[in-house]
Protein backbone atom coordinates (compact mmCIF):
# COMPACT_ATOMS: atom_id res chain seq x y z
CA UNK A 1 0.00 0.00 0.00
CA UNK A 2 2.81 2.44 0.87
CA UNK A 3 4.42 1.80 -2.51
CA UNK A 4 1.19 2.82 -4.26
CA UNK A 5 0.85 5.98 -2.18
CA UNK A 6 4.48 6.87 -2.84
CA UNK A 7 3.99 6.23 -6.56
CA UNK A 8 0.85 8.38 -6.58
CA UNK A 9 2.76 11.16 -4.83
CA UNK A 10 5.57 11.02 -7.38
CA UNK A 11 3.07 10.99 -10.25
CA UNK A 12 1.23 13.96 -8.75
CA UNK A 13 4.45 15.96 -8.44
CA UNK A 14 5.37 15.04 -12.01
CA UNK A 15 1.95 16.09 -13.35
CA UNK A 16 2.01 19.33 -11.35
CA UNK A 17 5.46 20.13 -12.77
CA UNK A 18 4.19 19.41 -16.28
CA UNK A 19 1.19 21.68 -15.71
CA UNK A 20 3.44 24.52 -14.54
CA UNK A 21 5.66 24.06 -17.57
CA UNK A 22 2.66 24.07 -19.87
CA UNK A 23 1.30 27.21 -18.20
CA UNK A 24 4.63 28.98 -18.74
CA UNK A 25 4.66 27.77 -22.34
CA UNK A 26 1.10 29.03 -22.78
CA UNK A 27 2.11 32.42 -21.34
CA UNK A 28 5.03 32.60 -23.77
CA UNK A 29 2.83 31.64 -26.73
CA UNK A 30 0.21 34.19 -25.67
CA UNK A 31 2.89 36.89 -25.33
CA UNK A 32 4.32 36.15 -28.77
CA UNK A 33 0.82 36.13 -30.28
CA UNK A 34 -0.03 39.40 -28.51
CA UNK A 35 3.23 40.99 -29.66
CA UNK A 36 2.51 39.97 -33.25
CA UNK A 37 -1.13 41.13 -33.11
CA UNK A 38 -0.37 44.55 -31.63
CA UNK A 39 2.64 44.80 -33.93
CA UNK A 40 0.39 44.14 -36.92
CA UNK A 41 -2.00 46.82 -35.69
CA UNK A 42 0.84 49.32 -35.40
CA UNK A 43 2.23 48.27 -38.78
CA UNK A 44 -1.16 48.94 -40.39
CA UNK A 45 -1.09 52.43 -38.92
CA UNK A 46 2.48 53.01 -40.15
CA UNK A 47 1.68 51.68 -43.64
CA UNK A 48 -1.33 54.00 -43.88
CA UNK A 49 1.00 56.98 -43.54
CA UNK A 50 -1.39 58.47 -40.97
CA UNK A 51 0.11 57.70 -37.60
CA UNK A 52 -1.62 58.91 -34.46
CA UNK A 53 1.35 59.35 -32.11
CA UNK A 54 -0.71 58.82 -28.95
CA UNK A 55 -2.25 55.59 -30.29
CA UNK A 56 1.17 54.46 -31.50
CA UNK A 57 2.65 55.05 -28.05
CA UNK A 58 -0.18 53.08 -26.43
CA UNK A 59 0.42 50.19 -28.82
CA UNK A 60 4.17 50.33 -28.13
CA UNK A 61 3.48 50.11 -24.40
CA UNK A 62 1.28 47.06 -24.98
CA UNK A 63 3.89 45.44 -27.24
CA UNK A 64 6.57 46.15 -24.63
CA UNK A 65 4.41 44.38 -22.04
CA UNK A 66 4.35 41.27 -24.22
CA UNK A 67 8.08 41.63 -24.89
CA UNK A 68 8.76 41.82 -21.16
CA UNK A 69 6.96 38.50 -20.69
CA UNK A 70 9.02 36.97 -23.52
CA UNK A 71 12.30 38.28 -22.09
CA UNK A 72 11.46 37.20 -18.54
CA UNK A 73 10.53 33.73 -19.80
CA UNK A 74 13.95 33.52 -21.46
CA UNK A 75 15.61 34.61 -18.20
CA UNK A 76 13.75 31.89 -16.26
CA UNK A 77 15.06 29.28 -18.69
CA UNK A 78 18.57 30.75 -18.66
CA UNK A 79 19.19 32.54 -15.35
CA UNK A 80 22.41 34.00 -16.76
CA UNK A 81 20.14 36.41 -18.67
CA UNK A 82 18.20 37.63 -15.60
CA UNK A 83 20.41 40.63 -14.80
CA UNK A 84 20.51 41.69 -18.44
CA UNK A 85 16.73 41.49 -18.81
CA UNK A 86 16.21 43.44 -15.57
CA UNK A 87 18.71 46.09 -16.69
CA UNK A 88 16.96 46.55 -20.05
CA UNK A 89 13.47 46.66 -18.55
CA UNK A 90 14.56 49.02 -15.75
CA UNK A 91 15.94 51.45 -18.36
CA UNK A 92 12.51 51.78 -20.03
CA UNK A 93 11.91 55.41 -19.00
CA UNK A 94 15.03 56.38 -20.99
CA UNK A 95 13.80 54.91 -24.28
CA UNK A 96 10.89 57.30 -24.80
CA UNK A 97 13.29 60.24 -24.58
CA UNK A 98 15.84 58.82 -27.04
CA UNK A 99 16.18 58.63 -30.80
CA UNK A 100 16.06 55.25 -32.51
CA UNK A 101 19.79 55.58 -33.26
CA UNK A 102 20.62 56.33 -29.63
CA UNK A 103 18.60 53.35 -28.38
CA UNK A 104 20.33 51.16 -30.94
CA UNK A 105 23.83 52.33 -30.04
CA UNK A 106 23.40 52.47 -26.27
CA UNK A 107 21.20 49.45 -25.54
CA UNK A 108 20.64 47.33 -28.67
CA UNK A 109 24.35 47.22 -29.49
CA UNK A 110 25.32 47.27 -25.83
CA UNK A 111 27.42 50.42 -25.33
CA UNK A 112 25.58 51.30 -22.09
CA UNK A 113 25.39 47.71 -20.90
CA UNK A 114 28.27 47.14 -18.47
CA UNK A 115 29.25 43.44 -18.51
CA UNK A 116 30.23 43.76 -14.84
CA UNK A 117 26.69 44.85 -13.97
CA UNK A 118 24.73 42.34 -16.07
CA UNK A 119 27.15 39.42 -15.87
CA UNK A 120 27.85 39.02 -19.58
CA UNK A 121 29.17 40.94 -22.54
CA UNK A 122 26.50 41.00 -25.24
CA UNK A 123 28.98 42.32 -27.79
CA UNK A 124 30.76 38.94 -27.80
CA UNK A 125 29.58 36.42 -30.36
CA UNK A 126 29.24 33.61 -27.81
CA UNK A 127 26.59 35.69 -26.02
CA UNK A 128 24.51 36.37 -29.15
CA UNK A 129 21.64 34.22 -27.88
CA UNK A 130 21.05 36.72 -25.08
CA UNK A 131 20.29 39.53 -27.51
CA UNK A 132 17.06 38.12 -28.99
CA UNK A 133 14.86 38.74 -25.95
CA UNK A 134 16.29 42.20 -25.28
CA UNK A 135 16.06 43.22 -28.93
CA UNK A 136 12.45 42.02 -28.88
CA UNK A 137 11.94 44.49 -26.02
CA UNK A 138 13.89 47.40 -27.53
CA UNK A 139 12.55 47.42 -31.10
CA UNK A 140 9.08 48.76 -30.21
CA UNK A 141 10.72 51.77 -28.54
CA UNK A 142 12.97 52.26 -31.57
CA UNK A 143 9.81 52.15 -33.68
CA UNK A 144 8.18 54.81 -31.51
CA UNK A 145 11.27 57.03 -31.71
CA UNK A 146 11.23 56.76 -35.51
CA UNK A 147 7.50 57.62 -35.55
CA UNK A 148 8.17 60.69 -33.41
CA UNK A 149 10.90 61.69 -35.88
CA UNK A 150 8.37 61.22 -38.71
CA UNK A 151 10.58 58.52 -40.22
CA UNK A 152 8.00 55.90 -41.10
CA UNK A 153 10.41 53.86 -43.22
CA UNK A 154 12.67 53.31 -40.20
CA UNK A 155 9.64 52.74 -37.96
CA UNK A 156 8.49 49.95 -40.26
CA UNK A 157 11.96 48.37 -40.36
CA UNK A 158 12.34 48.50 -36.57
CA UNK A 159 8.90 47.05 -35.96
CA UNK A 160 9.54 44.22 -38.44
CA UNK A 161 12.79 43.41 -36.64
CA UNK A 162 11.01 43.37 -33.30
CA UNK A 163 8.32 41.02 -34.58
CA UNK A 164 11.02 38.71 -35.98
CA UNK A 165 12.88 38.77 -32.64
CA UNK A 166 9.68 37.99 -30.73
CA UNK A 167 8.96 35.01 -32.98
CA UNK A 168 12.55 33.79 -32.61
CA UNK A 169 12.51 34.23 -28.82
CA UNK A 170 9.16 32.45 -28.68
CA UNK A 171 10.63 29.36 -30.31
CA UNK A 172 12.83 28.68 -27.28
pLDDT tens by residue, 121-172: 999 999 989 998 999 999 999 999 999 999 999 999 999 999 999 988 777 5
Average pLDDT over residues 3-11: 51
Q: Is the pLDDT of residue 10 over 50?
A: no
Average pLDDT over residues 30-57: 96
CB 58 within 8 A of CB 92: no
Per-residue confidence (pLDDT) for residue 7, from 0 to 100: 46
Q: What share of the chain is helix, strand, coil (3-state, %, to 5)?
A: 85, 0, 15
Q: How far apart are CA 31 and CA 119, in angstroms?
A: 26
Q: How far apart are CA 163 and CA 170, in angstroms?
A: 10
CB 47 within 8 A of CB 148: no
Q: Which of 63, 66, 59, 80 is nearest to 28 (CA)?
A: 66
Tell me the average pLDDT of the chain: 88
Amino acid sequence: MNKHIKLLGIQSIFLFTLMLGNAAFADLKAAVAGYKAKGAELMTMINSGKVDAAKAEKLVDEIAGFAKTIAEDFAKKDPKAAKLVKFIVDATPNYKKMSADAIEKDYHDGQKIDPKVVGLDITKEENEKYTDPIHCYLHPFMTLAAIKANDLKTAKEELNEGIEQAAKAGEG
